[in-house]
Structure 1
Amino acid sequence: MAKVHLVEGPVGAGKSTFVAKLSKEHAAPSLILDAWFVRLYSPDHPVEGLMHWYAERKERCLSQIWATSLDILGAGHDVILELGLVERASRERFYALVESAGYELTIYLLDAPRDVRRERVRQRNREKGPTYAMEVPDVFFELASDHWEPVNETERERFGVRVIA
């Protein structure tokens, strides 16, 4: 049966690089929130009220990504997801979706010290290489890092989270 592979971690942890590797390893498509968001919404972002604007559109993207995932899973293929579920409550809602759909869920957790992640993001901004989706200024890096709620022991035990070093 097809499986859901969910990659989580704070900004700059190496998720996009790991997703590319995992996608090849499982011959499975990857659906990455940032890529969808940038293509669909970034040209229209407002100067003010950015966080409210972002949150509303993120939910729409997540809904469409999940619908697409169900199509792929229904065809018998694994799917690799990087969804930016930084809050525990968001992850719990997603876990419930997967469970109610009857698919197996494998969670991969990536992390690195904040200063290492900050430098990775700065380098990605400069180089605009294969994992670059959008410019992440330092202020947004700090905000996103502060917002990250680490995967707790309950999540780790319940889902057998695989910590990737």
Structure 2
Amino acid sequence: MNMSSSDSKVFEYESFLNERLREDLRLILEQRDKLYGELTEYFQLRATIQKIKEDVKPESLLKTKVDLGCNFYVQANIPDPSTICVAIGYGFFLDMTFDEALAFIQRKTEVLQDKIDCQTRDAGRVKAHIRLVLEGLRELQQIQAQPRSSHKDFLS
């Protein structure tokens, strides 16, 4: 089977669209979703800290339930609820006061939001490239689909 040059171009554009652009978009959106998940966790942590800060006195015993996995909970007693252990990244945890943790969470959520905004812009660029390639494909296929008219058609 012999492909014409326009058929070859259509095939190249379709391959680029499906193998590169759509995959890039999928990866960007996947990364952005992970960032949204992380951002949600920090929002939940901030709400929890604020609730503990309002309701619990530093010298009192805090009773809570801890998920050991598979929704198996055990009761835990926290003798000094004035500090909290916060995951700061790369597998490191830091013991912080509530105010320090809230300040850290504020900064961390700003950084995550900046990353999310960057991912959203990147996704928009890839979507624009996809539209451009699709428009190019439409033009190629319309040219291909239209029969060539001869000069005789113009004279009659």
Higher normalized contact order (CA 8 Å, seq sep 6+, divided by chain length) = 1
TM-score, structure 2 as length reference = 0.24
TM-score, structure 1 as length reference = 0.23
Structure with bigger helix share is 2
